[in-house]
């Protein structure tokens, strides 16, 4: 028997699970919680997220004695490897934390249950949730994922570091030229990194083109769509200049010193004045840094005269997998995370600004400064942002892990190839990987 590739293995596993699920569950069937049952749930994130999520699961379990939970949590990269193994073995959890970039792949492999019927029968109440906060979880018109909170890419500023250096805080329309000058100033004045790592991240690459009104992938996801390598080449050249000036960590430092966990990040340790992350991560970074630190969030830099690099994005979702034997009970748990004021008093917008207006209002008096700053930042992005781009292509994971990271970003930042050569490799190898059919 020929050996199956990972994506084909996942596709077959998904087909089998979908067929089994269609026998186990018919929409509108009564809940099965009359006898004790166990739901498995899995998520990625920091220790701060783990602690909050576990507390909410304990609260739900106490209020629903017929439900028990087993749970797993890990870092973002290990998370998807573990899920792929479980999918291939037909043993996915009932509920998984899902990412916008993975929706198309998971829907294509039939590994998620559509949630429309649970919304229709009220198991998941989205009646007062704005449409813009729901539709990011749709693929081909069906709802597969419930948004756990809105967020956007951001630059986290250590305002105390800016004050010590006598550097004014940038405004939300600052440019990459402004960014470079500020980063260099911190190295010269304070002897610290002006910014941490991650500015070579593939999300930043995408933002360079979003600010020019373009999306990097073709409509069918089988190729790159941008014709001009210039913005990416110039960005890589800037990062090399900043590395050489020791104004940002080198790639070697990132790997050996700072990439272990959130507590190791330069801004948390007071070794950098800025960091790049999604806005909901500010809560975890502030918690890791400890009391007495002051932060502000600002938009990503943009080209001079360009459009916003930011867009409003579902921070992550909960989805029900097609391996679940208890999808209705799993849907009720998702509703609890979405609509319970008590649960959200524990979660405290750590995954992003909650999508239910009643939860937003209930939390405002309780928010700590960094949590309130996150809410205010997302509100600013709503008024100054580009449209939400399409989900990443089905082959995006292979594109990122086999091309963008090792062959382009790492090779350029380690000095093995030039930025111009990196752009050529991205185009040639990226198109080759994206064109491969599952």
**Residue 371 reports pLDDT greater than 90:** no
The verdict on residue 167 lying in a domain is yes
Q: Are 372 and 349 in contact (CB under 8 A)?
A: no
| Residue 184 forms part of a structural domain | yes
Rounded mean pLDDT of 219-229? 94
Task: Indicate whether 169 and 240 sit together in one domain.
Answer: yes
Q: pLDDT by residue (tens digit) across 230-262?
A: 999 999 999 999 999 999 999 888 887 766 678
Same domain (yes/no): 377, 275: no
How many other C-beta atoms can be found within 10 angstroms of the C-beta atom of residue 229?
A: 17
Residue with the larger pLDDT of the pair 255 and 358: 358
Average pLDDT on 3-13 reads 46
Condensed to tens digits (0 to 9), the pLDDT of residues 390-399 reads: 888 989 989 9
Provide the pLDDT for residue 23: 36
The reply to whether 332 and 291 lie within a common domain is: no
Domain that includes residue 332, residue range: 6-151+313-383
pLDDT band at 283 (very low <50, low <70, confident <90, very high): confident
55 plus 72 within the same structural domain: yes
* Domain count of the fold of the chain: 2
> 1 in a domain, yes or no?
no
Q: How confident is the model at residue 385 (pLDDT cuts 50, 70, 90)?
A: very high
Residue 85 has pLDDT above 90, yes or no: yes
Question: Does residue 235 sit in the same domain as residue 350?
Answer: no
Query: Would you call 333 helix, strand, or coil by DSSP?
Result: helix
89-117 burial: b if 16+ Cβ within 10 Å, else e: eeebbbbbbbbbbbbbbbbbbbbbbbbeb
Q: How confident is the model at residue 284 (pLDDT cuts 50, 70, 90)?
A: confident
pLDDT digits (tens, 9 = 90+) for 93-143: 999 999 998 998 899 999 999 999 999 999 999 999 988 899 999 999 999
Q: How far apart are the first and last CA of the chain?
A: 19
Q: Do 417 and 428 meet the contact criterion of CB atoms below 8 Å apart?
A: no
Region 177-197: mean pLDDT is 96
Q: Stretch 367-381: mean pLDDT, rounded?
A: 90
Same domain for 336 and 411: no
Average pLDDT of the residues in 176-189: 97
Residues above pLDDT 90, as percent of the chain:
74
Between residues 151 and 119, the one the model is more confident about: 119
> pLDDT at residue 177 above 50?
yes
DSSP structure string for 172-201: TT-BHHHHHHHHHHHHHHHSSBSS-S-TTS
Q: Are residues 230 and 279 in the same domain?
A: yes
Higher per-residue confidence, 219 vs 197 = 219
Same domain for 139 and 274, yes or no, is no
Q: How far is CA 26 from CA 13, 20, 29, 323, 328, in A?
A: 21, 11, 6, 14, 10
What is the model's pLDDT at position 391?
85
Q: Could you tell me if residue 349 is inside a domain?
A: yes
Mean pLDDT of the chain: 90
Strand residue runs (E) in 163-316: 274-278, 295-298, 313-314
Say whether both 78 and 174 belong to one domain: no
Q: Are 363 and 283 in contact (CB under 8 A)?
A: no
pLDDT of residue 261: 74
Assess whether 59 and 166 both reside in one domain. Answer: no
Which tens digit of pLDDT belongs to each residue from 54-67? 999 999 999 999 99
Look up residue 392 and give its two tokens: 């990443």
Q: Residue 437: its pLDDT value, please?
A: 64
* Residues 247 and 379 placed together within one structural domain of the fold: no
Q: Residue 30 has what pLDDT?
A: 39
Does a structural domain hold residue 40? yes
> Which contacts (CB < 8 Å, 24+ apart) does range 301-304 have?
301/155, 301/170, 301/174, 301/175, 301/176, 301/178, 301/179, 302/173, 302/174, 302/175, 302/176, 302/211, 303/175, 303/176, 303/208, 303/211, 303/212, 303/231, 304/175, 304/177
Domain membership of residue 422 (yes or no) is yes
Among 383, 400, 424, identify where a domain stops: 383
Say which CATH number the domain at 326 has. Answer: 3.40.190.10
Q: What does the block give as tokens for 319?
A: 């989805």
Among 364, 383, 402, where does a domain finish?
Answer: 383
Same domain as 331, residue 301: no
With DSSP H G I counted as helix, E B as strand and the rest as coil, what are the percentages for the chain, rounded to 5?
Answer: 50, 15, 40
Instruction: Map residue 72 onto helix, strand or coil.
Output: strand
Q: Is residue 253 part of a domain?
A: yes
Q: How high is the pLDDT of residue 65? A: 93
pLDDT tens-digit series, residues 26-40: 333 334 445 689 999
In a domain, 341, yes or no: yes
User: Would you say residue 413 has pLDDT above 80?
Assistant: yes
The confidence score (pLDDT) of residue 24 equals 37
When pLDDT is averaged across residues 7-21 and rounded to a whole number, the result is 47
Q: Is the pLDDT of residue 198 over 80?
A: yes
Beta bridge partners of 364: none
Segment 341-368 mean pLDDT: 92
In sequence order, what E strands does 125-234 have?
Answer: 138-139, 142-143, 146-147, 150-151, 153-158
* Cα 364 from Cα 369, distance rounded (Å): 10
Are the beta carbons of 397 and 174 closer than 8 angstroms? no
Other beta carbons less than 10 A from residue 6's beta carbon: 14
């Amino acid at each position: 028997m020929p050996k199956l590739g990972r994506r084909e293995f996942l596709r077959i596993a998904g087909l089998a699970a979908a067929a089994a699920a269609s026998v186990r569950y018919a929409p509108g069937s009564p809940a099965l919680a009359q006898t004790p049952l166990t739901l498995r749930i899995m998520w990625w994130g920091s220790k701060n997220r783990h602690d909050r999520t576990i507390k909410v699961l304990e609260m739900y379990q106490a209020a629903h004695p017929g439900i028990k939970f087993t749970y797993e949590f890990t870092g973002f990269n290990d998370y998807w490897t573990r899920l792929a193994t479980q999918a291939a073995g037909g043993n996915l959890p009932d509920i998984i934390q899902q990412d916008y970039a993975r929706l198309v792949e998971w829907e294509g492999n039939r590994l998620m249950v559509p949630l429309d019927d649970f919304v229709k029968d009220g198991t998941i109440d989205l009646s007062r949730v704005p449409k813009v906060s729901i539709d990011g979880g749709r693929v081909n018109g069906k709802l597969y994922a419930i948004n756990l909170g809105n967020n956007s890419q951001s630059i986290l500023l250590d305002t105390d570091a800016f004050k010590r250096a006598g550097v004014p805080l940038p405004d939300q329309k600052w440019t990459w030229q402004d960014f470079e000058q500020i980063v260099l100033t911190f190295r010269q004045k304070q002897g610290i990194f002006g910014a941490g790592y991650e500015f070579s991240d593939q999300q930043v690459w995408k933002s360079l083109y979003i600010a020019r009104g373009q999306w990097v992938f073709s409509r069918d996801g089988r190729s790159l769509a941008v014709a001009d390598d210039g913005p990416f080449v110039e960005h890589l050249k800037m990062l090399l200049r900043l590395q050489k000036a020791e104004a940002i960590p080198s790639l070697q430092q990132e790997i050996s010193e700072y990439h272990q966990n959130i507590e190791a990040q330069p801004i948390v340790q007071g070794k950098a004045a800025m960091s790049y992350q999604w806005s909901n991560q500010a809560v975890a970074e502030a918690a890791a840094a400890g009391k007495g630190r002051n932060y502000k969030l600002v938009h990503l830099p943009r080209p001079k005269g360009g459009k916003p690099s930011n867009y409003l994005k579902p921070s992550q979702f909960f989805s029900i997998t097609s391996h679940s034997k208890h999808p209705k009970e799993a849907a009720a748990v998702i509703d609890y995370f979405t609509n319970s004021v008590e649960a959200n008093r524990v979660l405290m917008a750590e995954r992003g600004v909650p999508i239910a207006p009643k939860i937003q209002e209930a939390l405002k008096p309780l928010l700590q400064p960094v949590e309130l700053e996150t809410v205010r930042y997302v509100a600013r992005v709503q008024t100054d942002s580009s449209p939400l781009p399409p989900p990443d292509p089905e082959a995006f994971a292979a594109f990122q892990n086999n091309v963008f990271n090792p062959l382009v970003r790492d090779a350029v930042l380690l000095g093995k190839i030039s930025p111009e050569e990196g752009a050529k490799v991205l185009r040639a190898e990226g198109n080759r990987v994206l064109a491969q059919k599952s």
